[in-house]
Structures are given as C-alpha cells and as structure tokens.
Chains A and B, each alone.
Chain A
C-alpha cells in the first residue's frame, strides 16, 4: 500500500537556529489513525501544523524539508488547496459565532466561494452531521448559532465542518483536551468510525487515548521523532529508551 502522506527531513524553526521540529522523516498510510505523543513543547503540534501549511500564516516561522500529500509536494501546491485536502480540528472548539449551525457546516464552501443549491446544501449538512453523530441532536435547531451548543457538540460540529470538504487526511490537534470525559469518549468512538473513510493524525498528550484509538504512534521529544511504529508494539516493547521512560511516566 502506498503512503498517503510522506515527510522527509521536515524542520520547523520559530527563530533562526531554534528548531521546534528537527529533521522528521516518516510515512503515514491511508485509513489509519496515527497518534503523535510527547511531552509538552516537544513539537508535536508544530509538526501537525506543518502538514497543512498553517505556519505560512506567521512570517517568523520557517518550514523546510519535503512533505508530499498523495504524491504531490505540498510546497508546490497552493496553500489553500493543501489546507482543504488536509482538514484540521483544533484544541479549542471554534465554531464561527456569526454563523448558524447549518452555516457552520457549510463554512468551508462559503469561504472557498463554492456556490451550492439548496438541495446540495441540505445533503452535505445532513451527511456531515450524520457522520459525526450530531444530526439527531441538532436537526431541529439548525438556525441557532454554533456557540449555542455544548463543548463536545461544538467540537463535533467543527469535525463535521472539516469533513464536509471531503479532505484526504484529518489533522487533529488535541481535539479532546478541552472536553469532559463523556464528550471525549464520543469523539474517540467517532474517530474509530471515520478511519474507514479518512486518514487521521491526532496529536495527544493523553497516552491512554493514544493506546485506545491509534493504529500507529509517533513519539516526539525535543523536536525530534524518536520512534514511530505500531501502537501495540510501542506500548509493549518500545525500541527506544526515552520512549520507554515517557510511557512509564519517568518524565512528561
């Protein structure tokens, strides 16, 4: 099977000679969930944000190396295209407060200037909300603002908003860290269902979450990718000493 995402020597620096991510090289395969773990400040979010070129928004951040998404070098592509192909879900749920729930799901289309007719819109909204198991909860309050929902619902709305654009991969930056255990549980179940259709990379500081949902795990430390492999294997027989120390709670 061909990898959907390949990284070669990816480094990210916030200032000259201070690297948040150093020479990361790895492959991600389709229809898997990959968890990126590591102590805070290890560069896991920074690496994730390099994949959809989020760092382009800040002129002081420089990304080097090669990232290919479905065989295309993302730095040769238009950043707008890259971001649409690599959907992102953030730590804090961020539904757009000026838009209704319905409009939030379609926000990607509106932002990209894609015109849809009413039937297409309804279809996309229902399908997207169904796929995050939010449809039944909100189908009667579609015109309410997104901020009216609970934190967990808001996060699922944000996932639906991302899925509506049919991305190739789904990047999630600690998507449950701002949520309560029940909402967290729902999102985790959701991710396991979504992996049939999407490739998911999820940054998490929660080891048990990584163990529960991921097929593969990456362990990062001080900006470097220390270990990347099958999750079960990594949790039972880590190859690297630092991975073992982190997993056993020596630091982190």
Chain B
C-alpha cells in the first residue's frame, strides 16, 4: 500500500514536468496572441520596425532576430579556437594529467560567474579597449557583446567536446601512431573525425546558450531597436530587448515582447533538438 502511494507520487512528480511544459507553452502563446493577431505571425517576424511611440505604434521582431543571430554566431566563431584548444588540451594532450584537472576547474569557474558580472567586466574593462581600437566610438555594440559572449560560452563548448575527444578509443590512436603518424596527424585524421558528431553537438548547445544569454548582452549591445548594419554597429537581441523594455511595457507592446520570448523559446528548443539528434549519431559509432 505504502509502495503504491510512493510510486504514484513519483509518477505525479514526473507529470509536473509535463504540466510545466504545457503551462509554459500556454502562457507564452496566449499572451502573445494579441501581437500575432495584429500583425500575423509572418508579418511580426519579418517586420524590422520597432516603434513604441503611441501615435505610430508598430512592432516587429526582425531587428532583434537579426541582432541575436549576429551576436550569437559571431561569438561562436570567436570561441572556437579557444574551446577547441581547451578540449584538445584536456581530452588529448594532457588527458588524465594534473594540469588538465587544473585547467578544467578554472574553466568550470568561468561557467560559474553570473552573466551580470560578465556584463560589468565587459562594460568597465573590455569596452575601453574597443574604443581604443576605434571599432566603435562608444564601445557598445555587437562586437563588444560577442567578445564577452564568446568568453561566456567557452566552458559550455569545451567541456562537452572534451568528453567526446577523450572517449576516442586508445586502440585507434595507437593504430595510427604505429603507422608513423605524428600526434597532430592522429588528432586531425583519427581523434577529431571520430569525435566529430559530439563536438558539433557541443557547439550547437553552446550556440543555444549564446542565443538566450541576457544580462551581459543587455549591458553591452547598445540597445538600439533596428537591424544592425555590421559588427561595429549597436543593436538589440531578442533577450536584451525583453530585459530592457519589459518593465514599462503594457498592451500591444507587452504582448509583442512576450511574442519575441515565444520565438526565442522556439529557436532554442529547435537548437537543442538538433544537438540531440546529432548526438544520437555519436552513440551509433
């Protein structure tokens, strides 16, 4: 009897996840319908105008979608050489060595720093460099956000790829060495191809992180509501526009912000799904 109740409680707890997800989707969809009804789903997504002035009020998500993709992909691009190096350092060159667990704990600590502290550091320490380099007069913008974002996602990209690289069977590597390959040739021809799907998946997950990152980007991107013209330009991401304008919003604007939240949710969910599919391929090798 007691066991039955307990088993039911376990099942009920699991059911909560289901209800939570349903509740999340319902909340996002029901509160964004106003915006979608006003502009149509495609009309909202494809419209680059974001004008909250009462007389000419008009909302579209395109500026922020472009801003989000811009910052996230540039950050991903910047983070690759570093996170791949860390993954090879820990998973190949110094696998199982003391120095590797040191590097690992440092990178773990980087993952523990809150987004807002990254934002502060980006504002006070990195922004002056951007100004000095003449990239942007104020320092704010895609460039600054992407640099800080790249640092933030290094731990995510590297820790998972480390796992996959260190899982490459030793017998394959020895086989390659016995044919006369150098360590780099083994990495290039054996380790990386064998771990490829896993590495790709970890970068997709890191991209998902970058897409949804809020505070640091909000503090650094310059918060302008239009499509950024380039890496030097300011802009807004989907997350940063919500963080910035949610507090004072109501009516159609609030609904539009929540609609952007829904779009962001869908994008990150898709990204995670793709990462999972790619990772399934790993298991089949």
**A contact residues vs B (CB 8 Å cutoff):** 52, 54, 57, 80-81, 83-84, 87-88, 90, 92, 94, 96-98, 107-108, 110-113, 158, 161-162, 165
Contacts and interface: CB of A to CB of B under 8 A. Distances in A.
B173 to A, nearest CB: 8
A96 B175 contact: yes
A84 B172 contact: no
B185 A113 contact: yes
B189 A110 contact: yes
B186 A111 contact: yes
B251 interface: no
Contact of A54 (B178, B186, B190, B285): B178
Given A96-B190, A110-B189, A111-B185, A83 B175 contact: no
B175 A94 contact: yes
A94 B181 contact: no
B26 interface: no
B194 A111 contact: no
The binding surface of chain B is classed by DSSP as: helix
A165 B179 CA distance: 8
B171 A96 contact: no
Interface of B: 169, 171-172, 174-182, 185-186, 189-190, 193-194, 196, 285
Contacts, number: 66
A75 to B, nearest CB: 16
Nearest to B172: A94
Contact of B174 (A84, A87, A90): A90
A94 B190 CA distance: 12
29 contacts: A54-B174, A57-B174, A57-B177, A80-B182, A81-B180, A83-B177, A83-B178, A84-B179, A90-B171, A94-B172, A94-B174, A96-B172, A96-B175, A96-B189, A97-B172, A98-B190, A98-B194, A110-B189, A111-B179, A111-B180, A111-B185, A111-B189, A112-B179, A112-B185, A158-B175, A161-B179, A162-B178, A162-B179, A165-B179
B174 A80 contact: no
Contacts of A87: 178-179
Nearest to A91: B171
A96 to B, nearest CB: 6
B185 to A, nearest CB: 5
Given A54-B174, A96-B175, A110-B189, A84 B180 contact: yes
A56 B197 CA distance: 30
A178 to B, nearest CB: 11
A158 B182 CA distance: 19
